[in-house]
Amino acid sequence: MNEHHYIACDLGAESGRVILGRLSGGRVTLEEVHRFPNGAVRIAGSLRWDVLRIFEELKIGLRKVAARRMKVESFSVDSWGLDYVLSGAGQPMLSLPYHYRDGRTDRTYAAALRSPGAELIFAETGIQFMPINTLYHLLAERDGSPCLLEIAERFLTIADYLHFLFSGVAVIEESLASTTQLYNPATRAWSERLISEFALPRKIFPPIVPSGTRLGGLLPEVAAELGVEACEVIATCSHDTGAAVAAVPATGEDWAYLSSGTWSLIGVELPAPLLTAAARAHNFTNEAGFGGTTRFLKNIVGLWLLQECRRTWALDQRNYDYATLAAEAELAMPFGALINPNDARFWKPDDMPGKIAAYCRETGQPAPETPGQFTRCIYESLALLYARTLGEIAEVCGRAITRLHIVGGGSQSRLLNQFAASATGCTVLAGPVEATALGNVLLQAVALGHLDSLGALRDVVRASFAIESFEPQDRADWQHAAARFAALPG
């Protein structure tokens, strides 16, 4: 029986992990080898990423694997999208990369929507409009730090930058390129029109490679430092959501997915991009998936709301784990207060409980007071937003949706899963939790010829993990709550 080992380096907004994957007999197992905290660094009035610390943490994890003296055939990094590193002039990094939530894009986003305007930008990219997108950060760079762009040789998104540090190959993998709002999904190349319209230097745009591209071996000095021998670097779906969607254990066509974590990414898998006026009006996005598929989705705020509440409470020495919060939320009064998670105030960090309470008071609702009430408010509001978004997807795509696959860390919340089923009227199928790491590992297997297709990959996921099912309950109560939710501002 053939057995293969791969390493997935999975980076999220709260933590990073090095995971060892083993494929044998049509089943896959994962083992977390190293975990480390991640988050924004506040410096000089800005939010940044300490990406070199991330690089060092990944090397720690790789050394731990190397110490086992087993044959590992490849490794790949996946990360969030949007953010990037500038390098050039003989320097591996020209400045600390900005965090997507940094406020420097507020002005450039508004200016771009005025000229050349949303219609042209969407026609060229098919990407959802958000001020956090790479395009608006590069425009802020152009306006605020033109000297950096003058000397820069390239920008690389976060996972691609780490691949560059490990392999020396400077390319951007297609799934990450597609999140920048500078990639044209029809031509599967950079949008030359937008690069010209915005007077961005063409030289900084690296080659784009398809998902599953084999980049080659480790740099000799890196291999020697880590004690790793023949291990290949592969750009799988380097965008974490792209990897997660590849691992959705779905069959047929009447399904949607929800990658649930800091963000909630909800959508369907299509054979081609959908660039219609209706898609633009509903602010959907077309991101590249494995094998030429399109992830037609909407990126909405997710468990970030609860993560920020926990961070605020912890500052007062009130530390709550997610299980405790869910248990208290289950005891709280249903539909006591609702928020629109899309309200702009909730996208920024700091004092999330205060922002939620203020929103409730402004909309004539009793403000939550206890952690359980805040948690229930967040969960119910997210579930109602899922329901509204699925309705828009069905309308724009002309597709009936009866099943919602929830994957990622948020799929561990049985209460939120039940709320999602009840709000949407769909059967919710929860799991696997480690969808991103699974997609990363198994796409390496496809790239190396150990699996022959995306379908075979999903067969392995179904054979390897139990999926929990949730059916809708209390539909009348949820439909009444949906009417309240529809009237909320934001």
Three state DSSP letters for 133-186: CHHHHHHHHHHHCHHHHHHCCEEEEHHHHHHHHHHCCCCEEHHHHCCCCCEECC
Rounded Cα–Cα distance for residues 425 and 406 (Å): 14
Rounded Cα–Cα distance for residues 464 and 48 (Å): 38
Residue showing tokens 């490679």: 209
Q: State the DSSP string of 20-89.
A: EEEEETTEEEEEEEEEEE---EEETTEEE--HHHHHHHHHHHHHHHHTTT----EEEEEB-SS-EEEEBT
Identify the three-state secondary structure at position 432: coil
Rounded Cα–Cα distance for residues 223 and 166 (Å): 9
Q: Could you tell me the CA-to-CA distances from 403 to 396, 424, 425, 476 in Å, in that order?
A: 17, 10, 9, 20
Length of the chain: 490
Residue showing tokens 């049985």: 414
HEC readout, 278-331:
HHHHCCCEEEECHHHCEEEEEEEECCHHHHHHHHHHHHCCCCCCHHHHHHHHHH
Query: Which of 287, 252, 247 has its CA nearest to residue 267?
Result: 287
Residue showing tokens 């705020």: 301
Beta strands per DSSP E along 340-462: 403-407, 427-430
Topology agreement, domain 3-239 and domain 248-431+452-490: yes
Those residues with Cβ within 8 angstroms of residue 273's Cβ, 6 or more apart along the chain or in another chain: 126, 185, 186, 286, 294, 296
Parallel/antiparallel/unpaired status of strands 294-301 and 403-407: unpaired
Q: For the whole prediction, is pTM greater than 0.75?
A: yes
Those residues with Cβ within 8 angstroms of residue 30's Cβ, 6 or more apart along the chain or in another chain: 8, 19, 20, 21, 22, 434, 437, 438, 441
Burial (Cβ within 10 Å: 0-12, 13-18, ≥19) of residue 282:
middle
Mark whether 452 is an active-site residue: no
Using alpha carbons only, what angle is made at residue 186 by residues 182 and 188, rounded to the nearest 5 degrees?
60
Q: Could you tell me the CA-to-CA distances from 485 to 338, 363, 370, 381, 475 in Å, in that order?
A: 7, 11, 21, 8, 15
Q: What is the pLDDT of residue 2?
A: 86
Q: What is the pLDDT of residue 1?
A: 59
Q: What is the pLDDT of residue 230?
A: 82
Question: Residue 168 — left, alpha, or beta (φ > 0 → left; ψ -120 to 50 → alpha)?
Answer: left
Of the listed 10, 240, 452, 459, which one is catalytic? Answer: 240
| Structural contact between residues 293 and 270, judged by C-beta atoms closer than 8 angstroms | yes
Specify the CATH class of 3-239 in words. Answer: alpha beta
* CB half-sphere exposure, 152, CA atoms < 13 A: 25
Rounded Cα–Cα distance for residues 237 and 153 (Å): 24
Query: Which of 52, 26, 53, 76 has its CA nearest to residue 441?
Result: 76
Q: Which helix (H) or strand (E) covers residue 223, if one does?
A: helix 220-226
Rounded Cα–Cα distance for residues 198 and 140 (Å): 11
Parallel/antiparallel/unpaired status of strands 74-78 and 3-11: parallel
Q: Is there a cis peptide before residue 432, judged by omega within 30 degrees of 0?
A: yes
pLDDT tens by residue, the chain, 490 residues: 589 999 999 999 889 999 999 999 999 999 999 999 999 999 999 999 999 999 999 999 999 999 999 999 999 999 999 999 999 999 999 999 999 999 999 999 999 999 999 999 999 999 999 999 999 999 999 999 999 999 999 999 999 999 999 999 999 999 999 999 999 999 999 999 999 999 999 999 999 999 999 999 999 999 999 988 789 999 999 999 999 999 999 999 999 999 999 899 999 999 999 999 999 999 999 999 999 999 999 998 999 999 999 999 999 999 999 999 999 999 999 999 999 999 999 988 899 999 999 999 999 999 999 999 999 999 999 999 999 999 999 999 999 999 999 999 999 999 999 999 999 999 999 999 999 999 999 999 999 999 999 999 999 999 999 999 999 999 999 999 999 999 999 8
Task: Provide the angle, in degrees to the nearest 10, between the axes of the packed helices 414-424 and 475-486.
Answer: 80
Residue showing tokens 């590193």: 85
How confident is the model over 35-63, as pLDDT tens digits? 999 999 999 999 999 999 999 999 999 99
The topology under which CATH files domain 248-431+452-490 is: Nucleotidyltransferase; domain 5 (3.30.420)
Rounded Cα–Cα distance for residues 242 and 293 (Å): 10
Q: Give domain limits for the chain.
A: 3-239, 248-431+452-490
Using alpha carbons only, what angle is made at residue 42 by residues 61 and 263, rounded to the nearest 5 degrees?
65
Query: Which of 429, 469, 392, 456 has its CA nearest to residue 260?
Result: 429
